[in-house]
Structure 1
Amino acid sequence: MRLSRITAYMFSLLLAVAFALTGAGVAQADQSSDQRAAATGYVALGDSYSSGVGAGNYDSGSGDCKRSTRAYPALWAAAHSPSSFNFVACSGARTGDVLSKQLGPLNSGTGLVSLSIGGNDAGFSDVMTTCVLQSESNCLARVDEARKYVDSTLPGNLDKVYDAIRAKAPSARVVVLGYPRFYKLNGSCTTGLSERERSAINSAADHLNSATAKRAADHGFTFGDVTGAFTGHEICSGSAWLHSVNWLNIGESYHPTAAGQSGGYLPVFTSAA
């Protein structure tokens, strides 16, 4: 049965009102979300990938921790104005350092926590030093040793960190960030490591990320996988967001540039937060 003109008009009017109310509800929800973000205390924990080593513009007060205003935690805080921001990530940090030196700012009012941790425990720096300075066979053996550590010891260390974070900040949303693959295989590099070494290092990064993601999920935390964000911006890509060996500032080698922080880490963290 066809609707009369009056009935059809009333039906259209009701639909318009319903859509308007739905839109208002969405706007109100978005506004409430923004207000919650502004009211959230944010604590940034972790290692050099969170402190911003490689991005430059370091806070002189952070000393050897090398916390950068171009690191993703500082960029997110500047864009979202959390009620408080404690940036305690530190270059060279291991899981034990997070436990002993970085958890002080966490409390029951903390609403958001970020961290990247585990790479130094697994011997990231020694792996890269071995691969750059020694033979291919030594490189592959050192990578295999790191993978075994990730399987045997790292999960327990991550559990200790995650348990401590949850105990001190029971209501916080916790975002654990992973590590990028370092190399574009068959890319533009004509010297340096062999393709076999580059492939092994990339595979080890994936292995570390998988282990970290599982531990994070088991604690109810969100894992931020940055490998996709860095695809096309690895070393040997021609548009790298990662430093290769930097002999003038060796500590920045294999760390994200400012573009890697803003274009790689920041969007992933923003989506997860």
Structure 2
Amino acid sequence: MKPPTLMRALSALVLAAAVALGGAGAAQAATLTATPAYVALGDSYSSGVGAGSYDSASGDCKRSTRAYPALWAAAHHPSAFAFTACSGARTGDVLSSQLGPLNSATGLVSISIGGNDAGFGDTMSTCVMSDDASCLQRIDQARAFAQNELPAKLDQVYGAIRAKAPAAHVVVLGYPRFYRTGGFCIGLSDTKRNAINNAADLLDSITAKRAADHGFAFADVRTTFTGHELCSGSAWLNSVTLPVDESYHPTAAGQSGGYLPVFSSAA
């Protein structure tokens, strides 16, 4: 016996609802897996030194669960996530030990690199421990390196990334200005603070130019760190601290409030 017309209508409605729900579920599942494979490369500013909560398996690389790559991956669920950024890394280290996870399926890459090549650590140590003249002399050396030698080193890294991950969207992240200038601040003189900030600006301008020439996006964190420099009263950077390697690196707030939003916008 054929079911009554009303029953047939109800059955059709139930079937249609089931199909619709199944389709919605499939669409939701597709959305969750649509975010492409992500590889995070670079130095301590990308590994998260200074933010705490380090993955013990990362050893001296000090990769933090509070670093912007880990925060972004936790929020967006990429189909794969490889975190190879490492404390102290220079361009040569990226080339020799960080590019392994890159392949034709990689959809997103982030990197901060160049500060250590230019002698960031030694420059800051000199400026903290020495007089204005010695600080400015060391900064001049770093600026000369950044202008004359760093561009070719960045080209090597960016070229290698593109060769290994031809389809990836690459985001190059810069460095913040370290200090609020003007007025009194315990520690460095305003002369030193201005010179350090100007050197950071130079490094960012060189990095941005090389990134653009390779078709990569440049994420400028100076915007988000404005008002949160050292001597601002609301710093997102560590000053001289222990362990010493965490000095002049973003805090957890600097990673989540300074780096993450800029990367998210560019990704």
TM-score normalised by length of structure 2 = 0.88
Change (3 A) 1:139 1:44: same
Change (3 A) 1:79 1:187: farther
Which residues of structure 1 form unaligned runs of 5+?
A: 1-30
Superposed displacement of residue 35, structure 1:
3.2
Does the Cα contact within 8 Å between 2:32 and 2:77 map onto a contact in 1? no
Change (3 A) 1:95 1:79: same
Q: Does 1:147 align with 2:150?
A: no
CA deviations on 1:238-258 (whole Å, 9 max, x unpaired) are 000000011x21111000000
Residue type at the aligned position of 1:213: A
Instruction: Name the counterpart of 1:7.
Output: none
Distance (Å, rounded) in 2 between the aligned partners of 1:102 and 1:38? 25
Q: Does 1:216 align with 2:221?
A: no
Does the Cα contact within 8 Å between 1:40 and 1:110 map onto a contact in 2? yes
Instruction: Name the counterpart of 2:174.
Output: 178
Instruction: Name the counterpart of 2:73.
Output: 77
Which residues of structure 2 form unaligned runs of 5+?
A: 1-26
CA deviations on 1:43-91 (whole Å, 9 max, x unpaired) are 0000000000000000000000000000000000000000000000000
Change (3 A) 1:249 1:40: same
Give the % identical residues.
Answer: 72
Superposed displacement of residue 38, structure 1:
3.4
Instruction: Name the counterpart of 2:256.
Output: 262
Instruction: Name the counterpart of 1:193.
Output: 188
Residue type at the aligned position of 1:197: K
Structure 2 residue matching 1:45: 3-state secondary structure = strand
Q: Which runs of 4+ in 1 moved over 4 A?
A: none
Alignment length, in residue pairs? 241
Superposed displacement of residue 39, structure 1:
3.5
Distance (Å, rounded) in 2 between the aligned partners of 1:164 and 1:129? 32
Distance (Å, rounded) in 1 between the aligned partners of 2:175 and 2:229? 12
Match of 1:103 among 66, 83, 99: 99
* RMSD across aligned positions (CA): 1.6
Q: Does 1:54 align with 2:46?
A: no
Distance (Å, rounded) in 2 between the aligned partners of 1:222 and 1:37? 24
CA deviations on 1:173-232 (whole Å, 9 max, x unpaired) are 00000000000012562x211100000000000000000000000000000000010000
Distance (Å, rounded) in 2 between the aligned partners of 1:74 and 1:37? 17
Does the Cα contact within 8 Å between 1:41 and 1:83 map onto a contact in 2? yes
Instruction: Name the counterpart of 2:21.
Output: none
Does the Cα contact within 8 Å between 1:114 and 1:177 map onto a contact in 2? yes
Does the Cα contact within 8 Å between 2:35 and 2:76 map onto a contact in 1? no
